Amino acid sequence: MSEASFTKISSSNMLTVRFLSLRNLRRLVYLGCVWLCICYLVFRVAHPQNAVSYLAHIHRGLLQKLPSEGPTQPSLNALIPENFLDLMPLVDKSPSLGEKELLFFLSNRSNLPLAYWAKNRNKAIGDKNCAKFPSLFDLDFNNVYWQRLQTTNGTFYLYAAYYDNRIRAGSTAIIRILAMVDKIKPISTTCQLWFDKGKSPVFAQATYTYAWYSKWGNYKDGILQPFIVSCKLPKKETEGRIPASVSLVQTRCQNPNNNLRIVNNRPPKKHDFAVCVKGLDFLQEDLSVRLVEWLEVLNILGAKKVFMYELEIHPNISKVLSYYQNKGLVELTPITLPGNQPNIPGFRHLYLKSKLTHKRQNEVIPYNDCLYRNIYSYDYLVLLDVDEVIMPVKHTNWRELMAEVVPAALKLKNYTRASYNVRNVYFLDDLQDGEELHHEAHEQGIPPYLHMLQHVYRSKNFTKPGSYVKCFHNTERSVSLHNHFPLNCFGSCTTYSIPIELAQLQHYRKDCVGSLKKTCKSEFRAYTVRDTTIWRYKNELTQRVTEVLNKLGFFRS
């Protein structure tokens, strides 16, 4: 065979092989497609909910971060409604507030005289050469809730102002200003009192009430000190009128850069009891369930309202307090630290923990804000921490208790007391007949989440009379309050010690306070008593707390 013939035969065979290969390949592809279609149809019939559409694949980038609703991720088809093209997201389309509406909305949420400013912003108030009324936009703000006055010898941080014409204050009404000052003896200042229909301010010399004891420490310049600044209203110039706002200045004719709305709450009826609580500092600690029990106990005992101040709180605590705000039992006010003190959440907690005396001085502000906002609203204010309860021993509530205490005090000495104090006793977490309580042990028939109802062992010994007490503060007599006693009063700060047979301050803690830890074991842990006084409210308290926790979703279904 010639070379040419061999070449022709080889080419013919190669074409045949290629033809056969292409035909076989087409058959394989065809069979494969048929097989896939059959598998898909079988799978769809068996598992219709897991069939993933082309649309879902397109949106995978948007959906892959959606949270799982169970042990397995929900199907993407289930997450996208069929009528998604017709859906419209629900967003807030309400119109923006105008300036007047916004000022009204903010009026009770700040120390600014917004209503007064809105009425008079276009009027020439004051004198260009002596005390021109300041624009709100020119005020010297500090840490959101404070205004600042810088003088030639010290800086004032002003929190709020109040109108005080209580009978015991005398015939002249007084404007009180809560302030922190970096001097133990502040420089002389003047109050500029602004009235609704006045063209010029009325002037009054400021006086100072030191709301701290020097023996408690931090008694030196450079550290912020709590003061109550008082401005007596001149009778002739004011003629019984109540000023709308006040400015504090170093010299009489100085143009002010601070202006505080004057609080003058006058409810139609004066109630008997309210509770004041210092700035809550629980960013990481979830005390929400215990807080529900505590608030319900206070309400059962007779507290009409609990005034609380917020530094930083856990989200669950926020949920609880929002619920009670809506019910009207709680009023929660945000607060910050003035001056150069830190307000970064978390770091502020560390600062206050390491600077305990600074912490105590800062606490004077919310305590006295609570006092002056309520001097006409309640007969008595009780300053408590969230782990304390004044528990009547003989009576069922505070009203019945004080109905016996006040006459007894008057019988002893015939004058009204500035406060009525209750002695402290510890209900420590691990007390049980002088031995440590095992974690799994609990009182039968009482839900384990009710801390106070579960802990009914206390130390036999009370802390010493006058030490670590809490009081019913008489709002007619108090000028400034501290955690344990009134510091300044109309007249002397007289107190009456309520006998332990009538009431006790039940203090629920892990351990004694720091200053008593050395003697805690011998004085308070060694001898214990089973005290079930609180159980008189067991059924009502259990029902109340459980209902609230259920409403707020604390129980898993």
Q: Could you please report the per-residue DSSP string of 189-252?
A: -EEEEE-TT-SSPEEEEEEEEE-S-GGGS--STTS-EEEEEEEEPPHHHHTT---SEEEEESST
Q: Which of residues 36 and 321 earns the better pLDDT score?
A: 321
User: pLDDT tens digits, residue range 228-243?
Assistant: 999 999 988 888 899 9
Q: Could you please report the per-residue DSSP string of 381-404?
A: EEE--TTEEEEESSSSSHHHHHHH
Q: Quick one: how far is CA 110 from the chain centroid?
A: 15
Between CA 481 and CA 380 the distance in angstroms is: 12
Closest CA to 242 of 177, 297, 165, 337: 165
Q: Quick one: how far is CA 165 from the chain centroid?
A: 29
pLDDT at 537 over 90: yes
Two tokens at 401? Answer: 């208790």
Q: Could you please report the per-residue DSSP string of 332-384?
A: EEE----TTS--STTHHHHHHHH-HHHHHHHHHHHHHHHHHHSTTTEEEEEE-
Query: CB within 8 A of 216, min separation 6: which ones?
Result: 357, 360
Radius of gyration of the chain (CA): 35
pLDDT at 71 over 80: no
Answer whether 246's CB lies under 8 Å from 195's CB: no
User: pLDDT tens digits, residue range 191-211?
Assistant: 999 998 778 899 999 999 999
pLDDT band per the 50, 70, 90 thresholds, residue 9: very low
User: pLDDT tens digits, residue range 147-195?
Assistant: 999 999 999 999 999 999 999 988 899 999 999 999 999 999 999 999 9
Closest CA to 429 of 456, 463, 392, 450: 456
Q: What angle (nearest 5°) sits at the alpha carbon of residue 358, between those of residues 354 and 360?
A: 105
Tell me what percent of the residues of the chain surpass a pLDDT of 70: 84
Between CA 38 and CA 40 the distance in angstroms is: 5
pLDDT at 488 over 50: yes
pLDDT at 3 over 60: no
Report helix, strand or coil for 543: helix
Answer whether 257's CB lies under 8 Å from 139's CB: yes
**What do you get for the CA distance between the two ends of the chain, in Å?**
92
Query: CB within 8 A of 231, min separation 6: which ones?
Result: 174, 175, 177, 191, 193, 204, 205, 206, 207, 246
Q: What angle (nearest 5°) sits at the alpha carbon of residue 354, between those of residues 349 and 359?
A: 70
Two tokens at 136? Answer: 């709100």
Looking at residues 45-57, what average pLDDT do you find? Answer: 43
pLDDT at 49 over 50: no
pLDDT band per the 50, 70, 90 thresholds, residue 37: low
Between CA 316 and CA 300 the distance in angstroms is: 23
Answer whether 426's CB lies under 8 Å from 455's CB: no
User: pLDDT tens digits, residue range 336-390?
Assistant: 999 999 999 999 999 999 999 999 999 999 999 999 999 999 999 999 999 999 9
pLDDT for res 85: 84
Answer whether 438's CB lies under 8 Å from 389's CB: no
Looking at residues 8-28, what average pLDDT do you find? Answer: 51
Closest CA to 379 of 471, 473, 480, 481: 473
Between CA 456 and CA 76 the distance in angstroms is: 54
pLDDT at 491 over 80: yes
pLDDT band per the 50, 70, 90 thresholds, residue 272: very high
State residue 299 phi and psi, 5-degree precision: -65, -40
pLDDT for res 102: 79
Between CA 293 and CA 508 the distance in angstroms is: 13
User: To which H or E segment does residue 62 belong?
Assistant: helix 60-63
pLDDT for res 170: 86
User: pLDDT tens digits, residue range 312-333?
Assistant: 999 999 999 999 999 999 999 9
Between CA 495 and CA 473 the distance in angstroms is: 9
